[in-house]
Chain A
Amino acid sequence: DIQMTQSPSSVSASVGDRVTITCRASQGISSWLAWYQQKPGKAPSLLISATSSLQSGVPSRFSGSGSGTDFTLTISSLQPEDFATYYCQQSSVFPWTFGQGTKVEIK
């Protein structure tokens, strides 16, 4: 299985901060990477597909980049509604696998 490793596991940040989350795949996955946001008690919500394609309705402060094995999710200016856990997921090789999650907390 491809291991997806996110860093950091958690980050404390303030409203307005720039936050960057990294996702590293144990082998190359081209651009087959998605990012999700999950709030407590809710289902995950797709933010970005195919590494950098912003889903309809997702604010432009979210962006994704990378290719191969190294990917990043950036929130350019953190808003109160962005405090959540973020997951990356690869769909290049079966079984599809997720990162362990990055919790973005209020500083």
Chain B
Amino acid sequence: QVQLQESGPGLVKPSQTLSLTCTVSGGSIISGRYYWNWIRQHPGRGLEWIGYISTGGSTYYNPSLKSRVTISVDTSKNQFSLRLNSMTSADTAVYYCARDVQFRGMDVWGQGTTVAVSS
């Protein structure tokens, strides 16, 4: 079965760019009608959808983050990535990658990676 695993730095300095990668195992990132998502959860709070990239390579971002976000895919490595620039303390959160099936819900999630923003 498909599994997802996030990787990246646990600590980022203010104003720097966060780069996270989600590695997909147990299946191809380009097969099926899937949408590969990033979601974050601020400490003790709810879930915020960041955006997705489809198997066809189209992207959609949350307008609240759109100016700072890029999601890309590396099919050769079966990975997709998140870049979030101009990081501030408000971006401190657990970041999850997840697969959505035709807008019917996110059925596979990574375990999450904690990112803190601090100098």
Contacts and interface: CB of A to CB of B under 8 A. Distances in A.
Interface of A: 32, 34, 36, 42-46, 48-50, 53, 55, 87, 89, 91, 94-101
B34 interface: no
A91 B60 contact: no
Nearest to A87: B47
Contacts, number: 59
13 contacts: A34-B105, A36-B105, A36-B106, A44-B106, A46-B105, A49-B101, A49-B104, A87-B46, A91-B100, A95-B49, A95-B61, A95-B64, A98-B46
Given A98-B47, A100-B46, A91 B109 contact: no
Nearest to B48: A98
Given A43-B110, A94-B60, A95-B63, A34 B104 contact: yes
Contact of B46 (A43, A53, A99): A99
A93 B112 CA distance: 25
Interface of B: 46-49, 60-64, 96, 98, 100-101, 103-107, 109-112
Contacts of B63: 95
Contacts of B109: 43-45
B107 A97 contact: no
A97 B49 contact: yes
Contacts of A89: 47, 49, 105-106
